[in-house]
Amino acid sequence: MRSLHRLLGQRFLLVALSSFFILCFGVSGYMLVGHYPFLDALYMTVITLTTVGFQEVRPLDSDGRLFTIVLITLGVVFVAYHVAYVGQMILEGSFLEVYRRRRVRQKLNQMKDHYIICGYGQMGRYIVRQLLRHQVPLVVVETNESQAGELQELGVPFLIADAKEEENLLAVGIRKAKGLVAVVHSDTDNVFIVLTARDLNRDLFICARASTSGTERRLRKAGADRVVSPYASGAMRIAQNILRPTVTDFLELALSGDGMELSMEELVIPAGADLIGKDLVHSGIRSDYNLIIVAIKRREGTMIYNPSPGEVLEQGDTLVAIGPRENLDRFAEGLFGTSKRS
């Protein structure tokens, strides 16, 4: 992108210098050949180059007419060359690309609490589609320009750039972002992205991919909050499909929300919620919303699995609830005053 802007800047400078040169050439020529004063020479040069057809200051002699022919020829060649160049850039999409990138940058400047997805390969593509489905604001950083068409069709803001570069992460609003996902193909690149991202935003939630053994430890040292190994996760799912196929099918359907009414969701109890200080049995979660709380994560990180009916709810608790999607949305609306879940 930077090279494209530099090319356009160089082209603009060339046009400006060429225009200035032709203007100086015309003024000097009329002053020398036709013995015009400066203002009259400038007037003659302008009306000659613009071909507006105004009357000459005074009739030209043969030398003046010959010079005018040369000046007109230079002007026509100049205009034709630059018009052809601009037309080529339009046909190649360069101007449209600059315009699109400027629009993307304007949109990125307005974004906050969004997620930055670094890498749009197989994992990145699935992550983007899942987040879009849940209306999570996001932006993609990808080095492969061939992915641009698909991202445009999805309506996802993106930047074709290297996520390892600090300036590119700043361009996608990392200081205002809520989280970053590093899923490029190289583990080394993922480590570097995590290091750079953590340095730019200490409060950022970072999730990274580890393809090889030993990388998980390096990613956590670099600053990743969560590390996912697709091979280990895939092996675990295959084993669970053999050992507990029904449980695996249920969890996959509940987490994905596809093909069944039942879904699983996590919701954080905000300040001022009516649930604070109540135990589960009197909270109305089961009786009013027909939801089951399978786990509670305390604010300090303690996990309570299969909580008892007498478990008291506190501000900042994360409730892991399971139930019909519609009921989960109703519960979230009652909890936050909106259907949006934290």
What is the distance of C-alpha 219 from the center of its chain?
23
Long-range pairs of 22-28 with CB within 8 A, sequence gap ≥ 24 = 22/49, 22/71, 22/74, 22/75, 22/78, 23/49, 25/71, 25/74, 26/71
| Predicted confidence band of residue 259 (pLDDT cuts 50, 70, 90) | low
> Is the confidence at residue 68, as pLDDT, over 70?
yes
pLDDT band at 88 (very low <50, low <70, confident <90, very high): low
The answer to whether residue 25 scores a pLDDT higher than 60 is yes
Q: Which domains are assigned to the chain?
A: 2-92 (1.10.287.70), 112-233 (3.40.50.720), 261-336 (3.30.70.1450)
Q: What single letter denotes the amino acid at residue 136?
A: V
- The C-alpha atoms of residue 63 and residue 32 are separated, in whole angstroms, by 10
Q: What is the per-residue pLDDT for 4?
A: 52
Residue 230 clears pLDDT 50, i.e. is over it: yes
pLDDT tens for each residue of 139-179:
999 999 888 889 888 989 898 889 999 999 998 999 999 99
- What is the pLDDT at residue 340? 46
Residues in contact with 167: Cβ distance below 8 Å, sequence separation at least 6, in sequence order: none
Do the beta carbons of residue 31 and residue 38 sit within 8 Å? yes
Residue 205 backbone phi and psi in degrees, to 5: -80, 125
Q: How confident is the model at residue 21 (pLDDT cuts 50, 70, 90)?
A: confident
Confidence of residue 85 (pLDDT cuts 50, 70, 90): low
CA–CA distance, 38 with 46 (Å, rounded to integer): 12
The predicted pLDDT at position 278 comes to: 92
Q: Is the pLDDT of residue 258 over 50?
A: yes
* pLDDT on residue 62: 83
Inter-CA distances, 326 with 175, 249, 330, 339, Å: 35, 21, 6, 10
Band of the pLDDT at 255, cuts 50, 70, 90?
A: low
pLDDT single digits (tens) 100-143: 667 767 777 778 899 999 999 989 999 999 899 888 999 999 99
- Residue-averaged pLDDT of the chain: 84
